[in-house]
Amino acid sequence: MKVIPNEITYSAAISACEKGDRWELALSLLNSMPDMSAIPNEISYNAAISACEKGKQWRLALSLLSSMPDMGIIPNKISYNAVISACEKGLQWQLALSLLSSMYDAMLIPDDISYNAALSACEKGGQWQLALSLLGTMSDMSVIRNEISCNAAISACEKGGQWQLALGILSSMPHMRVSPDEISYSAAISACENEGRWQLPLSLLSSMTNMRLLPDLIGFGAAVNACEQIGQWKLMVSLLSTLPIPLELLRQRA
């Protein structure tokens, strides 16, 4: 009995390639569908775009999105989110923002996934002003902000040397009904590290303890460095002796 593959079996195979990080095979399957009289649909395209996103192939992901209308397929929110994420991974923050904006033109309402990917793109691109603007736009558009949104904005401020803004976002997270996590605090501590304000990293570490959060290597190392830079050797030794961070890991960070 001969079984002829159709768009359902192809879509399932492409999705399997996406999950297995085989973007080349996913594209090959998508391109071979017409030869087998299988008509690609939004499921097969979205799976192929997601495969390219995971494979950090932002150009291919963008090309697939652009070619969908030519195949009579209307891109949906999943399509755009995957391409925005691909641009984020490819350090293409301008394209990520452009795609986010074009979703409205396509009568699609961006969700938290859309905004978080664009926020992360701005963070990686050192665009702290744009990251803050997006965080505010999420509230205006009634898109739920979460720890991913806030952490990306804090990290963007940290990279931009905006320690006060980083602390402001951290302190406002409970008002957004978002609980800060280890990444939130570590980014804020790193933002304060080079400002000569050694009290702030220590205060943030204390807050983490009160919230039963364990500081990671980045946050703890930043607090130690803050003490070291202004000669607070006793405090630094105290930190090293009281917090459960292996010394060899700190040496690796240095």
pLDDT in tens, 228-249: 655 554 554 455 455 554 444 4
| Interhelix angle 199-210/217-229, nearest 10 degrees | 150
CA distance 152 to 170: 11
Identify which has the larger pLDDT, 207 or 163.
163
Enter the tokens of residue 147: 């720890």
Lowest mean pLDDT among 9-13, 57-61, 81-85: 9-13
pLDDT for the residue 251: 41
* Core vs surface per residue 193-206: b (16+ CB within 10 A) or e: beeeebebbbebbe
For the whole model, what pTM was predicted?
A: 0.83
pLDDT at 111 over 90: yes
Among 90-94, 183-187, 205-209, the range of highest mean pLDDT:
90-94
Domain ranges for the chain = 181-254
pLDDT for the residue 213: 72
Output the CA torsion sign for 187, 190, 82, 17: negative
Average pLDDT over residues 121-132: 96
pLDDT for the residue 191: 85
- String of DSSP letters for the chain: ------HHHHHHHHHHHHHTT-HHHHHHHHHHTGGGT----HHHHHHHHHHHHHTT-HHHHHHHHHHTGGGT----HHHHHHHHHHHHHTT-HHHHHHHHHHHHHTT----HHHHHHHHHHHHHTT-HHHHHHHHHHHHHTTPPP-HHHHHHHHHHHHHTT-HHHHHHHHHHTGGGT----HHHHHHHHHHHHTTT-THHHHHHHHHHHHTT----HHHHHHHHHHHHHTT-HHHHHHHHHHS---HHHHHHH-
CA distance 15 to 83: 16
Q: Which residues contact 244 (CB under 8 A, 6 or more apart)?
A: 214
pLDDT for the residue 254: 43
CA distance 204 to 207: 5
pLDDT at 41 over 60: yes
Lowest mean pLDDT among 19-33, 75-89, 117-131: 19-33
pLDDT for the residue 247: 41
Question: For a pLDDT cut of 90, what percent of the chain falls above it?
Answer: 60
Predicted confidence (pLDDT) per residue in 137-196, tens digit: 999 999 999 999 999 999 999 999 899 999 999 999 999 999 999 889 888 888 887 666
Contact 242, 209 (CB under 8 A): no
